[in-house]
């Protein structure tokens, strides 16, 4: 199904799909990294869990009218996606203050953002993915004004849909990161992954963390909480 390796990231490998022009195979790795790669570990089964979780969330978004790169899950750790040119922008949407925003701006933990707060980071490991503003994005990420507006409105729409989905699973969507890609036609669609690696997910009642923060902070068992997310997604569908 896959041919040449195009790119190896921290959590995924990307291959050209054999014999399928314009399609890629995303292969989810068992590796977990945090703090821009400073903390590293491998968890046997993490790749499968993120592949399965992402392969449930993307079709859900598609059903809500949001175009994504996802085509199908191929096997335990791989999925077929449309090839896009990734826009070097990490779009973060926050519903509740935690993580970097509390440290960066001194905003009190658990401050509710209503409307949700959107931040842009320039996707560049060597620079440590710095926070940027719109004017920086036009230059660094090569997006036009209207494309950036489209990206922002899609990110907020995705936030609405995912907040509803997770609420039915008794989970609060605290924040998350999205990446978008450009198709050969010029259309911008949702790319990359949506998983507990890229979202903060708290149990609605207990506020137990069911995401990568358990690894970042060393407060829990990553596989156990990712398994819990998958279990609740399965129960929901």
Q: Residues interacting with ligand C5P, by CB under 6 A? A: 90, 92, 99-101, 129, 175-177, 198-200, 212
DSSP string, 101-144: HHHHH-PPTT-EEEEEEEEEEE--GGGT--EE-HHHHHHHS---
Q: How many whole angstroms separate alpha carbon 2 and alpha carbon 12?
A: 14
Comparison of 2 and 179: residue with beta carbon closer to ligand C5P? 179
CA 39 and chain centroid, separation? 19
Partners of residue 115 on adjacent β-strands: none
Comparison of 17 and 97: residue with beta carbon closer to ligand C5P? 97
Minimum CB distance to ligand C5P, residue 21 (Å) = 30
Comparison of 97 and 148: residue with beta carbon closer to ligand C5P? 97
Minimum CB distance to ligand C5P, residue 38 (Å) = 12
Minimum CB distance to ligand C5P, residue 205 (Å) = 20
Comparison of 127 and 139: residue with beta carbon closer to ligand C5P? 127
Minimum CB distance to ligand C5P, residue 207 (Å) = 15
Minimum CB distance to ligand C5P, residue 175 (Å) = 4
Comparison of 60 and 122: residue with beta carbon closer to ligand C5P? 122
């Amino acid at each position: 199904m896959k041919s040449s390796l195009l790119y190896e990231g921290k959590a995924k490998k990307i291959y050209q799909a054999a014999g399928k022009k314009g399609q890629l195979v995303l292969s989810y790795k068992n590796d977990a990294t945090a703090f821009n790669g400073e903390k590293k570990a491998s968890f046997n089964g993490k790749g499968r869990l993120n592949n399965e979780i992402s392969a449930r969330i993307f079709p859900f978004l598609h059903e809500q009218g949001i175009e994504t790169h996802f085509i199908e899950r191929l096997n335990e750790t791989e999925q077929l996606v449309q090839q896009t040119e990734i826009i070097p922008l990490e779009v973060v949407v926050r519903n509740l203050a935690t993580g970097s925003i509390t440290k960066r701006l001194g905003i009190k933990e658990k401050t509710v953002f209503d409307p949700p707060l959107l931040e842009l980071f320039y996707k560049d490991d060597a620079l440590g993915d710095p926070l940027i503003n719109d004017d920086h994005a036009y230059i660094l990420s090569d997006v036009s004004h209207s494309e950036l507006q489209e990206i922002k409105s899609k990110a907020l729409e995705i936030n609405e849909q995912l907040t509803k989905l997770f609420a039915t699973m008794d989970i609060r969507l605290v924040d998350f990161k999205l990446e978008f890609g450009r198709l050969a036609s010029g259309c911008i669609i949702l790319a990359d992954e949506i998983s507990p690696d890229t979202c903060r997910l708290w149990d609605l009642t207990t506020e137990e963390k069911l995401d990568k923060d358990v690894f970042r902070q060393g407060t829990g068992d990553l596989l156990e909480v990712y398994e819990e997310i998958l279990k609740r997604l399965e129960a929901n569908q």
